[in-house]
Amino acid sequence: MDGEPPKLEFRGRLPLVLPGAGRVLRDPEANWPPEILERSVVEARAAGRRLVLLASPEAVNEVLLNQDGDFPRARLHDRMLGASYGDNLVRGDRADWRRQRRQLLQPFNTPGAAAPEARIALACDRIVDEWLRTEDGAPLDVIRDARRFTLDSLWRSFFCDEAEARAVEPLVEATAQTMDAHETAPLTGHLEDLRPLAELALERERARLDADGAGVAAVDLNTMLLFLHAGHDNVAAALAWALWLLAEHPDWQARVRDEWRGRSGAGFDAGAFPVAGAVISETLRLYPPIMHLIREANRDLEVEGETVPGGFTTVLSLYAMHRNRQWWDMPDAFRPGRFLTAAPDLRRRLLWAPFGTGPRGCVGSAFARTEMIVALGTILDRLELTPGPGGMACRVDFVLRPEGRQAVTARPLGRDGTGAAGGR
């Protein structure tokens, strides 16, 4: 790659006096001041609302790890997301969110079920088989196919056994394709696309609880929609970014492939793949799919020596923290090596928070990491990725997405990693 991968260019001015707070968040390029990449606290005003943009590990510590309910998920966040999803688990004021979270994770707390890697690999092989049949040199639509893979993999891993997965495959496939075709539709449109699958998932979830004698389902249709959406959309964006970054960095691609090929036959352990892990961490640093977390400050807050008075809506910008010039060396460059050594202290660890953290952090972070490691290994074992004829750019629609359907091509690999394997 010549130079650095694409980034957002913030062009907003200080102080921000804007027609609506939602707009500040939906269109950060036009509205956020560039100072947020150099400072920890930037105050803004939008439609009479006091907003403060935060980009520091101390803010993560104070706001996200707070256990006392002083910084609840903001009503603004509920309106932006909750209104689309309806009343569901993500709502800041939802009283039974702990119960819902526990239930969603139950399949992974059951011995044996907590080993989804074989199912993930099956879902991935389906896509790689297709890619191997692609005409030589034709671009791979990694954005569409990452979504097809992650929806299939989530479905197989959480809701059914292999025989059932095959029966539902046409619905999963049609849902992913429709969502891809509705790429720029608002979230509400995407949720409508997911509705038939969510109804089926809920039916299965209720049957599972019944069979286990585990009581009444805490999860309702809105939460199931949220789960199916949050459980595949973010991973799809991250995986598409990772595949493109690896196509542009053959050295890291070779290291991920070698690590995968050298794996032991024993059970899957994400920690046994430090190189793939570092590539994933660096991808999520550069392109955190959820760019910002919005919390109400019900009390004063100290961040890097500055006082943020209570009453503000705080916008913790993961993107700006991950690229802040104060904390990172060459913040816009793809350098996975920075994640190969453990962070020396808590402050350094909290600088990287693509999954959020604390009581309302992501429920699926471990699954997402497993999924991405298995996908990268499975793909790179069989294919060499190369830059395609088109470029990649960023698009923000609350989620930070890759935009560029011609940015990656591939050629088949033999087991020795050097020759063509045939099969195309």
| 150/409 with CB nearer ligand HEM | 150
Does 74 participate in binding ligand HEM (rule CB under 6 A)? Answer: no
CA quadruple 120, 126, 129, 131: dihedral, nearest 10: -90
Residues in contact with ligand HEM, counted by CB under 6 A, come to a total of 24
β-strands 17-18, 41-46 pairing: parallel
| 238/308 with CB nearer ligand HEM | 238
Does 235 participate in binding ligand HEM (rule CB under 6 A)? Answer: yes
Q: What's the min distance (Å) between Cβ of 362 and ligand HEM?
A: 3
Q: Which of 156, 285, 335, 360 binds ligand HEM (CB under 6 A)?
A: 360
| 201/290 with CB nearer ligand HEM | 290
Does 374 participate in binding ligand HEM (rule CB under 6 A)? Answer: no
Largest CA distance in the chain: 64
Does 153 participate in binding ligand HEM (rule CB under 6 A)? Answer: no
Q: What's the min distance (Å) between Cβ of 346 and ligand HEM?
A: 17
Distance CA 65, CA 362 (A): 13
Distance CA 354, CA 340 (A): 17
On the CB side of 301, how many CA atoms lie within 13 Å of its CA?
Answer: 29
Distance CA 242, CA 245 (A): 5
Q: What angle do CA 282, 283, 286 make, to 5 degrees?
A: 85
Does 147 participate in binding ligand HEM (rule CB under 6 A)? Answer: no
Binding positions for ligand HEM, 293-312, rule CB under 6 A: 293
Q: Which of 137, 311, 337, 361 binds ligand HEM (CB under 6 A)?
A: 361
Long-range contacts made by residues 98-102, C-beta under 8 angstroms, separation at least 24?
99/218, 100/218, 100/219, 100/223, 101/363, 102/218
Could you say which DSSP state residue 272 is in?
G
Burial of 221 (0-12, 13-18, 19+ CB in 10 A): middle
Q: Is 153 helix (H, G, I), strand (E, B) or coil?
A: helix
Beta bridge partners, 294, equal: 315
Which of 56, 55, 33 is CA-nearest to residue 45? 33
Long-range contacts made by residues 174-183, C-beta under 8 angstroms, separation at least 24?
175/151, 176/144, 176/147, 176/148, 176/151, 176/152, 177/144, 177/148, 179/147, 179/151, 180/143, 180/144, 180/147, 180/148
Does 363 participate in binding ligand HEM (rule CB under 6 A)? Answer: yes
Could you say which DSSP state residue 290 is in?
B
> Binding pattern to ligand HEM, positions 252-291, x when CB under 6 A?
-------------------------------------xx-
Binding positions for ligand HEM, 88-107, rule CB under 6 A: 89-90, 97, 101
Does 364 participate in binding ligand HEM (rule CB under 6 A)? Answer: yes
Q: Contact region for ligand HEM (CB under 6 A) — 128-136, 201-209, 361-369, 411-419?
A: 361-369
Does 64 participate in binding ligand HEM (rule CB under 6 A)? Answer: yes
Q: What's the min distance (Å) between Cβ of 293 and ligand HEM?
A: 5
Q: Which residue is nearest to ligand HEM (CB)?
A: 364
Q: What's the min distance (Å) between Cβ of 418 and ligand HEM?
A: 32
Does 319 participate in binding ligand HEM (rule CB under 6 A)? Answer: no
Q: What's the min distance (Å) between Cβ of 22 and ligand HEM?
A: 17
Q: Which residues bind ligand HEM (CB under 6 A)?
A: 64, 89-90, 97, 101, 227, 230-231, 234-235, 238, 289-290, 293, 354-356, 360-364, 367-368
